[in-house]
Structure 1
Amino acid sequence: MADDATATKPLIERNVARAVVLDEHERVLLLQVGEYGNPEFGTAWELPGGGIEAGETHTHALMRELREETGIVVTAEQIQAPTWRRDVIYDYRGSRRLQHEAISTVRLHGPAPEIQSLLRDAFEQSDLFDARWWTQQEILASREWFYPHSLPALLARFLSGETISEGLEVWDKAAWRANS
């Protein structure tokens, strides 16, 4: 049951495109994020992506989001159809967010490019702290927080071509810490 503070927050529901971006060495790009105004949240490493704007396709949203968040330019041909679907609810900047996420694989040609931040919006400039290319083994061995929280458990299955449909994830690091 939601507490009173959560119950009074406006709910924003949106469709989101995310990507497992792989370089030529099969390393995964993850972005370290947090909420600048909420230091209790800490940070997590998330898959790049974001909201699908009106009239935009999943593919075009990913192309735009990758360019804005990282400076990486990809073509539609590099983006595979989404085969990982999930819903997540979390608090962010004074609102409650319900996201319907579709995750695709994006394969880059060549080595991992340098990540650029020139096109990030104001929230991304303050809430996106770092970017790093991870091996699957590093993700599995890490004690860091990941978004999706299930990334270490599901990444290999997703990359092997399995279609994944997750239930609702309630993003609550405090609850996960208490149950760890």
Structure 2
Amino acid sequence: MSTVNLRRSARAIVFDEDDHVLLCRLAIPDYAGTIVVWVAPGGGVEDGETPLAALRRELHEETGLTLDVDPPQVWRQEVVAAGHAPGHDGVVNDYFLVRTASFTPRGAMTDEELAAEHVTGWRWWSLSEIRDYLGPELFSPRDLATPLAALIADGVPDQPVPLGL
């Protein structure tokens, strides 16, 4: 029996006062070129680190955002797929809800460090912009508009909502 090696990550659904969500643009080299994916800020949980500790560290490094309270977990995404995360059999992403005033992301990482992690930009998106987007770039999860709409309409769920690819 083989063990599945999943990359653990903690990510933040960062909403501003107008329910715009902050997304990070990743340009990931691929055998067919480059795949561009808009993702919630966050990243890998290191050995011995809790998801919330990883979230705090990643948000500070990437965006400069500092959390004063522990945010609630709202979603959990598990994707088991070869090639989805280099060196792993897939990912487990725990998503936490963070509400803040709109700001210009500028974290502790240098531009070179961000580039090494394939980060090429930041953008605040409205739900309608995500829902209506027809361009070649992807969102993670692919149907990001659906869980975002539910989160805006219904607030924090009783249990983390499971997400697909």
Bin for the TM-score computed over the shorter chain = 0.7 to 0.9
Shift of 1:29: 0.2
Q: Partner residue of 1:48? A: 41
Q: Partner residue of 1:178? A: none
Task: Select 2:109's aligned residue among 106, 119, 143.
Answer: 119
CA RMSD in angstroms, aligned pairs only: 2.6
Counterpart residue identity of residue 162, structure 2 = S
C-alpha distance in 1 between matches for 2:29 and 2:91? 21
Structure 2, unmatched stretches of 5+, are none
Q: Secondary structure at the match of 2:73?
A: coil
1:61 matched to 2:54: yes
Deviation digits for residues 49-93 of structure 1 (CA, Å, limit 9, x no counterpart): 111122222222111111111122222x1x422121111246368
The normalised TM-score by structure 2 is 0.79
Shift of 1:118: 4.1
The normalised TM-score by structure 1 is 0.73
C-alpha distance in 2 between matches for 1:133 and 1:39? 28
Query: Which sits farther off after the overlay, 35-44 or 133-142?
Result: 35-44
Alignment of 1:156-171 (within 5 A): 156-159=149-152, 160=154, 161-162=156-157, 163-167=160-164, 169=165
Q: Secondary structure at the match of 1:41?
A: strand
Aligned residues: 154
Alignment of 1:84-123 (within 5 A): 84-88=75-79, 89=81, 91=83, 95-108=87-100, 110=101, 112-119=102-109
Q: Is the 8 A contact 1:35 1:93 kept in 2?
A: no
Structure 1, unmatched stretches of 5+, are 1-10, 170-180
Structure 1 residues 116, 43: closer, same or farther in 2, change over 3 A?
same
The structure in which a higher percent of residues are helix is: 1
Q: Percent identity?
A: 30
